[in-house]
A = this chain, B = another copy of it.
Amino acid sequence: MTKRSSKSAAVRAVKSRPSAVEGDDTAITALKLPPQELAPEMAAYFKKCEDKLGFVPNVLQAYAFDGAKLAAFVALYNDLMLAPSGLSKLEREMIAVAVSAHNRCYYCLVAHGAAVRQLSGDPPLGELMVMNYRAARLSRRERAMLDFAVKLTAEPWSIEEADREALRRCGFSDRDIWDIAAVAGFFNMSNRVASATDMRPNSVYHAQAR
């Protein structure tokens, strides 16, 4: 309760232990997979990231050891997260973080937590998706969407028509249901690729949109 540590105490603390994210920007995964030369389309995409974000997300650099894998990942990601959908971009990012919280994926929680903070303009919403989405003040629609995505993550074998009906009752169309499932599914994939390889997020995310 009484956090009395002065700035100087904090500085001393910094000295006494290395950062918990030491090396995150240089050793992106635990696998030694040297990057290939980028195909022109991907080089342009990386350039666009640097222009718009100021950096290339580490997940892209992690995939850069193989041009075909990188291209397939980017195509799938961009379609799911950025293409037109009945779900807003914020809703898709909320699913990303709630799923990644279930799977406790460091990379995705950092990168997509930042996206929720930024897209919502409500930084604590990003925190709540990481911590426990049930504690957030959400609309009925948002809550139903996240309940479906997290149940699908935790016990996919138990999803049945009643679960789809619950979404329809909140106004989601069948296409929206597909998109919820596809985004939740995608992060169940990405969380595992990231955890399997100890993928590290760009450190710049931590302070974004706080």
Min C-beta distance of A88 to chain B, whole Å:
8
The residue in chain B whose Cβ has the minimal distance to the Cβ of A106 is B135
Given the known interface contacts A106-B132, A132-B104, A188-B188, the answer about A20 and B125 at a Cβ–Cβ threshold of 8 Å is yes
Shortest Cβ gap from A30 to chain B (Å)? 6
C-alpha gap A79/B135 in the complex (Å): 29
Given A120-B10, A193-B182, are A59 and B161 also a contact pair (CB < 8 Å)? no
CB pair B177–A197 under 8 Å, yes or no, is yes
Residues 1-36 of chain A: 1 if any B CB is under 8 Å from the residue's CB, otherwise 0? 111110001111110011111110000001111000
Interface residues in A, total, Cβ within 8 A: 110
Partner of A119, one of B5, B120, B121, B197: B5
Chain A window 179-200, contacts with chain B (Cβ cutoff 8 Å), 1 for yes, 0 for no: 0111011101111110111100
Q: Which residues of B contact A21 (CB under 8 A)?
A: 122, 124-125, 128, 136-137
Query: In whole angstroms, how far apart are the Cα atoms of A127 and B191 in the complex?
Result: 17
Query: What is the CB-to-nearest-CB distance from A176 to chain B, in angstroms, rounded to a whole number?
Result: 10
5 pairs of A and B residues whose beta carbons are closest in the complex: A181-B196, A104-B157, A10-B121, A189-B189, A106-B135
